[in-house]
Each structure stands twice: as structure tokens, then as C-alpha cells.
Amino acid sequence: MQRLGGMPPARLFFALCLWRLVPRREAAGTDEVVFGQLGGSILLLCRNVSKEATEVVWFQGDPHSFPPLFSSRVSFPPDVRFSLVDNSSLSITELRVQDEGNYTCREVLNKTDHEHRVRLLVANPPQATPKCWAESSSSGLMLQLFCSWPGGYPHPTLHWREEGQDLENSSWVISSTSSSDTHVETLNSSHLSHRKVFKCVGSHVVKQEQPACTVEIKLPSLESEPPQTCFVGDNVTLTCRVTESTPAARLSWLRDITQPEVEIQPGGRFLIAQEGNVSRLTIQNCSQGTDGGCYVCKAQNPVGLRELFVCLTVKQPVNIVGVVGAVVVLSLLTVLTVTGVVLYYNPLLCLRGAAFRNADSGDVLVLVDSEDDEEGKGFEETLSSCTEHEAMALVAGSMAQAAHLDHLTEGDNDKLHGGVSAEEVREERDMRLTASVPP
């Protein structure tokens, strides 16, 4: 095969003129469609080439309207991405979008020409994997399965499967629609069950593997806050939260189980707000006669429904001033009672102690000898000490010993007046006082 670099411009122009003058002949070949991946390589085959063919020429587009792209005998402006294989098949590397189109292979024979047409599509497979999700129909009674795999050309082929079988062949499929990169199946809810798994499988003309995604449908699960309390005339909010649901559940509020089909409609004293999977029911101006009791939070999707009771207690407001006053009065009464008890018992104890002290001081006789003042002072100190010990003995329960001491004192006084010397009296008193005082 000759190269363009060795062909003079005049010869090239002459070849193009001859190509224009070649009489047009009817093609006897067949059409073929092939796919090449963007940026990849493709080999376009010129099928059933005869060994007697003198030349094989490739055209891009209509061979009667466009010049040859490549020839086994004559070279045209080169493009390193194009080349001939076995002098018949056309190889294209680094495929671009503009390479897409119709290609014609013309086999030049002695008496006739044979043409083979090939349509090349430059494909671009999706880069990511398919995405699956489930939704409820507008009526809320049917399940819609969505499968999307965008970013490819041509559009991929998507199939929903359940337990290894295509859903398109199932009797419980209501409808099946496809638009560009998304495929939707609408199913009757009568065949649905908790934790049932559906699988979407995607395929593409230039992608060997078949990526897939799955959806697991689930019954709703609910949770709420602890029971609420509302005072008459105040506002209260009841909260209900969906923790799990596939597809998303519709939330509603019922007054109680006595009217299970009557939903609370927002308006008046009732306000209903939903953010995502959380619904809040606000009751304004609570009434003890009509608002107290349990409310039903209802969550429903095509798989099934769940209900949860949220209870409310309505109370009369508490008189805070009265409660505080009662506490203060009770506190004062308690203080007065304790004070009265203390004042009742303490004066008796004081009077009894005073009586003991008076009796002790009246029973002790102090004798002073004018002849010996120093001995008299010593006797007074001894007597004072004995008096203190006597008081301690009386408090400890030694009443008998104190009475005996008083009796001896009176006897001593009589003896003194009878002529006994004062010195003898003092000695005898000292001995008796010493014996009467406990150690």
C-alpha cells in the first residue's frame, strides 16, 4: 500500500477525478450495526471479500456522495487512527463521537463491485452502578419500583427481578414503563410482604458485566415521646416519629379507637405539621372534657400499616399562692409546737435545780472562832468545798447523805451550846464532812 507522502498532488487530484467518473452501481451487500466504546478501538469487517478483488475501498457516508476514506491501492490524507487489516477490514482507534455513522466497504472486481454497509455507533457506558428506590403511588395503595442508570449512550437496558424471575412476566405487575435511563414497575400491594427484596439488573451494549441494585420493602415502625400533660387553657404538642419504612409512610392522627376511620384535620384548635418522618399534633387551649385521653398515630405504606397510641392528661391549673401559704402556715405551727414543748419542760428543770441549791445553802451552818481567825478562814474554805461536793451529790441522787449531814450539824450546835469547846466541835465536824463527801 502506498502512502500519501510519495504521491504528487497532481496524481491525487487525478485519482479523485476518476472516482467521480466511475459509474454508479447497485450495491449487493448487507447492512450491519456495530458498537464501539468512546475512546476505545473497533474493527469494521469487509465480509465475503473475494480473492479476485483488485481493490477494497472504504467510505464514510454515502459512497456516491463522499470521497473514499481509505483504499488498498491509493492512499488519501492520512489519519493515524485509521488503518487496514488484511487489506480489507478497517481499524479505528481512539474512537470519537464524530466517528459515528455509516461506513461502506466496496470490493472492486473485474466486472462488478460488491458493497458491504456497516453502521458504527460510538457508545459511552454509564460509569456508576444503577440506583434503586421504592415509592408509593398517588393513591397510596400500590408500590412503584424505580431503577435508574444515567450517563450512558445508548440508553442501558434495565430489568426488575424478584426471586430470580423478571417482574415483566409476573401477573401482579400493573404497569411497566421506561423513559431514557429509568425503568419503573408498578405492583399490586396484595402480593407484598415485610422485608421482600427486589433486584434491578442493568446491561449495556459495550459493558460485559451487569451491575445491579436491590430494594428491600419494610413495614413502618413508630415511636413517640412519653405521655404528655396539659393544664386547662394551655397548649400541648404530641409527637410521632417513623423510624423505619420502605417506601415512605403516610402519617395521620386519629382521636381514639372509637372512631378509627375519622382523621383529625388541621384547623381550629388542632395544628398538624410534618417534617420528614416526624409528625407533630398541636392542641391549643386544652379542655379537660374533650381533649383528655389517647390519640392514635397511624403510619401506612403499600406494605401495611402500624398504629401507636399517644396519651394526654388534662389537669386543672394548681393555685401556687395557696400552696405556698399552706406550707408557710404549717411551718409556723411546727415551730410554735416545738417551742411550746421546750418552754413547758425547761422551767420545771430550772425550778427543781434552784430548790436543791436553796436547800443546800440553808442547811449548812458556818462557825467562826474569834480566837483563831486563820483557822476560821480555813474552815470556811473547807466548808465551801464541801458544799459544792454536796450539791453534786444531790444532783447525782445522794439525797439521803445530805439529809444526814444536816442532822449532824444541828446536833453539833446543841452540844456547842451545852459547853463543849469550839475546837472539839470543829474537829468532829471536819471528820464527818470528810466522810460524807464521796471520793
Distance of CA 150 to the CA centre of its chain: 31
Q: Are strands 165-166 and 236-246 parallel, antiparallel or unpaired?
A: unpaired
Q: Are strands 31-37 and 113-123 parallel, antiparallel or unpaired?
A: parallel
- Spell out the alpha helix ranges (H) of 7-55: 9-21
CATH of segment(s) 131-216? 2.60.40.10
**pTM of the shown model:** 0.61
> Measuring CA to CA, which residue among 285, 230, 205 is closest to residue 33?
205
Residue type, 386: C
DSSP label at residue 27: -
- Where are the domain boundaries for CATH 2.60.40.10 in the chain? 4-123, 131-216, 220-315
What is the arrangement of strands in the sheet containing 82-85, beginning at the earlier edge strand? 42-44, 89-92, 82-85
End-to-end CA distance of the chain: 148
Q: How far apart are CA 289 and CA 102, in angstroms?
A: 83
Does the domain formed by 220-315 have CATH 1.10.150.120? no
95: left (phi over 0), alpha (psi -120 to 50) or beta: beta
Long-range contacts of 163-168 (CB under 8 A, 24+ apart): 167/198
How crowded is residue 308: how many other Cβ atoms within 10 Å of its Cβ? 18
Q: Is the sign of the CA dihedral 283, 288, 290, 296 positive or negative?
A: positive
Backbone φ and ψ for 182, nearest 5 degrees, come out as -130, 140
How crowded is residue 290: how many other Cβ atoms within 10 Å of its Cβ? 11
DSSP bridge pairs for 33: 119
For residue 240, the number of C-alpha atoms closer than 13 Å in the C-beta half-sphere is: 27
Q: How far apart are CA 268 and CA 251, in angstroms?
A: 20
Angstrom CA distances, 418 to 93, 411, 414, 425, 428, stand at: 161, 11, 6, 11, 16
One digit per residue, pLDDT tens: the chain, 439 residues? 333 334 444 444 434 443 343 333 334 445 789 999 999 999 999 887 777 778 889 999 888 888 888 888 876 667 889 888 888 899 999 999 999 999 999 888 877 788 889 999 999 999 889 999 999 998 888 999 999 999 999 999 999 998 778 887 788 888 888 888 999 999 999 889 999 999 999 999 998 899 999 999 999 999 999 999 999 999 999 999 999 999 999 999 998 766 666 889 999 999 999 999 999 999 999 998 889 889 999 999 999 999 999 999 999 887 666 667 778 888 888 888 888 877 777 665 445 555 444 544 444 444 444 444 444 444 444 434 444 444 343 334 444 444 444 444 444 444 434 444 556 656 666 666 555 545 4
Distance of CA 21 to the CA centre of its chain: 79
- 71-107 confidence digits (pLDDT tens): 888 766 678 898 888 888 999 999 999 999 999 998 8
- Per CATH, which fold does 4-123 belong to? Immunoglobulin-like (2.60.40)
Q: How far apart are CA 237 and CA 231, in angstroms?
A: 13
DSSP label at residue 371: S
User: Do the Cβ atoms of 289 and 271 come closer than 8 Å?
Assistant: no
The DSSP line for 406-439 is HHHHHHHHHHHHTT--HHHHHHHHHHHHHHHS--
The DSSP line for 114-162 is EEEEEEEEEEB--SS--EEEEEE-TTSSEEEEEEE--S-BS--EEEEEE
